[in-house]
Amino acid sequence: MRNQNIDQCWQFQHGLYDEFPDAEKAKSIREVNLPHDYMIESNVSESAASGPASGYYTQGVAYYTKLIDIPQEWEQEAVYLHFDGIMMNATVDINGCKAILQHNGYIPFSVNITPYLYFGKKNRVTITVAPSMQPNSRWYSGAGIFRSIELLHMPKLHIASDGIFGYTKSIEYDTLGNPVCAYLHTEVELQNETLENKMALVEVFLTKDGSDEVLLSRKQKMQINPNTTDTAYLNLTLENPELWDVENPNLYKLHARVTDLGVFKTHFVPSEKNTTDETSVLFGVKTITADVKHGLRINGKTVKLKGGCIHHDNGMLGAVSLYDAEYRKISTLKKIGFNAVRTTHNPPSAALMEVCDRLGMYVYDEAFDAWGIMKRPGDYNQFFDADWKKDLTLFMKRDRNHPSVIIWSTGNEISERGGLNNGYTLATRIAEAARTLDPSRPISNAICSYWSGLDEELSLENMKKIMGEVSEDTVSIQNADTGKNDTSWEEYSEAFTNGLDIVGYNYMEDKYPLDHEMFPERVILGSENYPKEIGIHWPMVESTPYVIGDFTWTAYDYIGEAGIGKSVFLEPDDPLFKIGSFALMSYSSQFPWRFANDADVDINGCLLPQGAYRSIVWGNNKTYLYSYDPDVFGKKELIGNWGFTNVTKNWNWKDADQKPVQVAVFSNGDEVELIQNGTSVGKLTSGTRLAAELPHSFLFDLTYLPGTLEAVSYKDGKEISRDTLVTTGPAKELRLIQEKKELSANGHEVAYVRVEIVDENGIVVPDAALRLSAAVEGVGSLAAFGSSNPITDENYTSGTFTSYHGTATAIIRSGYQTGMCTLTVGCEELDEKKIAFTIK
């Protein structure tokens, strides 16, 4: 096989490397399967350099070592290692020789290891990971080889790494709007590692994904000079194409083959033995355009992006990226109504991109969080000047065939956006480089207000506009706006937008009408927005052609930026209200806060009230009933800008009988009735809401009584849906819910098991907080075990964790052996439960 996955059985050593460790140190060397994140295995620390930004995680240097067999018959070939990402500052050594140093942990890269190999023998690969310059990120980064590795071998005249590129130039439709013909452009980058001028035959052909039947093929001869790369260009005309979009993610495979025909000196000399190299990529037929009249169009149809920002971690798995985990994440978001994700703020994994292709999810694919000006001392700013073009190229060449990618983003909230550090010119150059790599998709950049990014004098002036008169030592306030009628943002940012097809606006919806007047050809995207404001902004997005969508911060909860979505209940006269929601940016995110707590879905994949509300705004006709804690009745809630009102699915309030309580209902009904223990409490019309920014919400005041509470939604006098809260009995037993029972023995598959604490009627006890234990016996392993509690110092890899809202989750990972494995979950108060998995 040309490409071989080599994730199995690496020797892992944490701490400074010792080639000849003593017996005690040797005990710390253990075997791991990749992908692997050793940061998530560690305990959190109050003294972590990044503090709440990393969820109080930190890590230092580690080493991965593997002996790989290189067959003698490969001696006349080129041998490469391909990495999808290593976090971070990774040095790859082959038999003691340094082959490459890659700084950016999110970037895929390949290295030619041929010069360092002994053919017909075992060869030592050592990878040093050094994320030790802390703080190096604004969120949880993870540490280690957190994405997969492949070993490649091919002839010395071969297709370059990520060397296939194809896109749709145009599509013809019949009078009924059915596609009848697609015109495709393909490029194949070839690499000649010989010392001779080579003549090559390049072939491209198309199959349906999952089929070997060739639908279309084309050929092209070309010459490639010694030790160079060159590109073959071939066009394809595909009859009756099946188009790709989120509703119909039809996939093809685009194959490329190069055959060594011989040497060209003064004339052509045929080769005695024609070597051949062949590889393929997933491909989708689609076109993308964006303009102020029609907005964003996919295959000629206008699309509004119902978007969510996501970070790269997978909750309890840390930064480990596995196809099953990414599939679960994206499928969960699709069920809520999302049709797009933004890969904030760095390149995602290849696994996530394939999931988005196969499930149907548009991707706003982002390159960098920082350019040359630092956001954290140990971040990418150290390497940007030297590495940006290389890293942008590697990232885009991997992702540009994925049909799910609809927009490239060159950066997020870049400090150079006001022109510092030659920022205006840099922005143009990076956009030009991106367009050269892929002319088929629009280029964007997510730009925020000037709470940073200006020199000292202008920054102080800007802060005065935001806050009134301030002192010189005023701390910048993130994403604060100077007001919709102030045009200083437009003045500072105009040169930065040169070269962008779509301008991303972070938290500046009020500026859309003004900026449309100032820049009538500007296509605007809400690239980052406060979650609780979707209800007031979405109708505007839907009705405004030049605004193409909205991306909430965030769709899926994540580790780090801890507590930015929290809320607190205070007395109405508390002085914090004078400062407003910005006060919560630094209020009480103390150890052991872990999660951002700002999402539609928690780390275990469960829908949160914020996500339920968003689905209502997007047209869901379900009813969602939640309760506030009676202890906060009469208090006023201060919600962080990235937060949502703190309601829960709980009707088990202890010592609260006959006390006043508030309940919230989210509904598309024009009227909602509340029924308590069979008696109507009353009805509220759609004009009643929790807060001004929350249409489709209803707030009821009532007296708490245990029992059953129902909310019934009506539209035009007819019931459309209802929801219920019940008071449960005490915890009676554990219930284990398997999402799947079989896994493949490939070391990569995972199965999620929901652990529920239920009463005698099988209802989850929402206030149950029990210390649980989990263990796996057999050929699988316990990859993680824990709850979605945002404030905890417990370890997901220890096998013990406290339930949260009556639930926890276990993640089982397959190994490379077939057989059975058993998960056992128990606690002191309840009988243990077991379930089995088949690994085949």
Hey, what are 48's tokens? 């972590």
List the helix and strand counts (H, then E) for the chain: 11, 47
Over residues 102-108, the mean pLDDT reads 98
Closest CA to 614 of 563, 556, 569, 671: 556
Distance of CA 151 to CAs 35, 63, 73, 192, 593, Å?
15, 19, 15, 19, 40
**What pLDDT, in 10s, does the model give residues 627-647?**
999 999 999 999 989 999 999
For residues 351 and 143, give the distance between their C-alpha atoms in angstroms, rounded to a whole number.
Answer: 18
Phi, psi of 371 (to 5 degrees): -100, -125
Per-residue confidence at 51, pLDDT binned at 50, 70, 90? very high
Q: What is the DSSP letter of 273?
A: S
For residues 726 and 731, give the distance between their C-alpha atoms in angstroms, rounded to a whole number.
Answer: 14
Quote the distance between the C-alpha of residue 377 and its chain's center.
24
What DSSP string runs through 60-97? --EEEEEEEEE-GGGTTEEEEEEES--BSSEEEEETTE
Q: Please give the pLDDT value at position 478.
A: 61
Per-residue confidence at 480, pLDDT binned at 50, 70, 90? low
Per-residue confidence at 20, pLDDT binned at 50, 70, 90? low
CB 704 within 8 A of CB 691: no
- 663: Cβ contacts below 8 Å, ≥ 6 apart: 625, 626, 627, 628, 647, 674, 699, 700, 702, 709, 711, 725
Return the axis-axis angle of helices 609-617 and 323-336, rounded to nearest 10°.
Answer: 50
Over residues 487-507, the mean pLDDT reads 96
Going along the chain from its start, the domains and CATH numbers come out as 3-155 (2.60.120.260), 157-286 (2.60.40.10), 289-561 (3.20.20.80), 621-726 (2.60.40.10), 733-839 (2.60.40.10)
Q: Examine the pLDDT at 468 and tell me if it is beyond 60.
A: no
Per-residue confidence at 268, pLDDT binned at 50, 70, 90? confident
For residues 685 and 670, give the distance between their C-alpha atoms in angstroms, rounded to a whole number.
Answer: 6
For residues 351 and 147, give the distance between their C-alpha atoms in angstroms, rounded to a whole number.
Answer: 9
Tokens 């098991």 belong to 753
Helical H segments across 701-785, by residue range: none
Q: What percent of the chain has pLDDT over 90?
A: 89
Hey, what are 491's tokens? 């003045």
Q: Examine the pLDDT at 654 and tell me if it is beyond 70.
A: yes
Per-residue confidence at 486, pLDDT binned at 50, 70, 90? confident
Pairing of strands 340-343, 362-366: parallel
Hey, what are 339's tokens? 């049709």
Over residues 564-570, the mean pLDDT reads 94
- 29: Cβ contacts below 8 Å, ≥ 6 apart: 11, 12, 13, 21
Angle (CA) 798 804 807, round 5°? 85
Distance of CA 285 to CAs 183, 208, 253, 357, 676, Å?
9, 11, 11, 12, 54
Over residues 116-133, the mean pLDDT reads 96
For residues 120 and 550, give the distance between their C-alpha atoms in angstroms, rounded to a whole number.
Answer: 56
753 strand-pairing partners: 738, 810
**What pLDDT, in 10s, does the model give residues 712-771?**
999 999 999 999 999 999 999 999 999 999 999 999 999 999 999 999 999 999 999 999
**What pLDDT, in 10s, does the model give residues 306-318?**
999 999 999 999 9
CB 166 within 8 A of CB 401: yes
Hey, what are 277's tokens? 């190299």
Query: Whole-model pTM?
Result: 0.96
CB 650 within 8 A of CB 766: yes
> What does the mean pLDDT of the chain come to?
95
Rounded-to-5 percentages of helix, strand, coil across the chain: 20, 40, 45
Per-residue confidence at 601, pLDDT binned at 50, 70, 90? very high
Q: Please give the pLDDT value at position 411.
A: 98
Q: Examine the pLDDT at 471 and tell me if it is beyond 50.
A: no
Q: Examine the pLDDT at 472 and tell me if it is beyond 60.
A: no
Per-residue confidence at 451, pLDDT binned at 50, 70, 90? confident
Phi, psi of 360 (to 5 degrees): 90, 85
For residues 766 and 759, give the distance between their C-alpha atoms in angstroms, rounded to a whole number.
Answer: 10
